[in-house]
């Protein structure tokens, strides 16, 4: 055994190891935060796409058996061949629908998870009538997530 030889870490080695460990841990925390943020954004986009898709499918259903349609700003009224009248309107930040065969009250077509920013219905022509409905949805309570626009255009026959 040699005299004067000491085993262990020097102070400089310990400081370097602690600094490296700090860099690795801060990188891991940053990556974890980014993964969680991306997951939240993906979930929000999926919610908006699902809600918008449902609203468009409901409008397609109403227009598939339509004999006539009229539009006034943010309200679309559809008369169907089966005698049912379907009215879709923007009320506040939600789309609402009323079917005469089901009841006299408007019911929400969108959930509180999304905010409907715009709903514009237009009819053009006489025979055939072209009905166009455009709506823009955004995740509720979010100022940073982008909004998505959904457009439906259908000719009544």
Within-domain flag for 116: yes
pLDDT band at 151 (very low <50, low <70, confident <90, very high): very high
Within-domain flag for 2: no
Within-domain flag for 131: yes
pLDDT band at 98 (very low <50, low <70, confident <90, very high): very high
Model confidence over 56-72: pLDDT tens digits? 999 998 888 888 999 98
**Number of compact structural domains in the chain:** 1
3-state secondary structure 91-130: ECCEEEEEECCCCCCCEECCCCCEEEEEEEEEEECCCCEE
Domain range enclosing 113: 11-156
Instruction: Taking residues 18-47, report their average pLDDT.
Output: 88
The pTM score is: 0.72
129-139: strand order across its sheet? 114-124, 129-139, 148-156
Other beta carbons within 10 Å of 89: 19
Within-domain flag for 5: no
Q: How many CA atoms lie within 13 A of 70 on its CB side?
A: 3
């Amino acid at each position: 055994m040699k005299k004067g030889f000491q085993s262990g870490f020097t102070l400089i080695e310990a400081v370097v190891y602690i600094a490296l460990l700090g860099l690795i841990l801060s990188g891991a925390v940053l990556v974890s935060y980014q993964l969680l943020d991306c997951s939240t954004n993906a979930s929000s986009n999926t919610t908006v796409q699902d809600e918008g898709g449902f609203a468009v499918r409901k409008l397609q259903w109403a227009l598939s058996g339509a004999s006539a349609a009229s539009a006034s700003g943010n309200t679309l009224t559809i008369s169907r061949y089966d005698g049912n009248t379907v009215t879709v309107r923007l009320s506040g930040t939600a789309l609402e629908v009323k079917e005469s065969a089901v009841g006299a009250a408007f019911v929400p077509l969108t959930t509180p998870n999304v905010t409907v920013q715009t709903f514009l219905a237009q009819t053009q022509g006489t025979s055939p009538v072209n009905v166009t409905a455009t709506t823009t949805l955004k995740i509720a309570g979010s100022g940073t997530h982008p909004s998505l626009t959904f457009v439906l255009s259908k000719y009544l026959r």
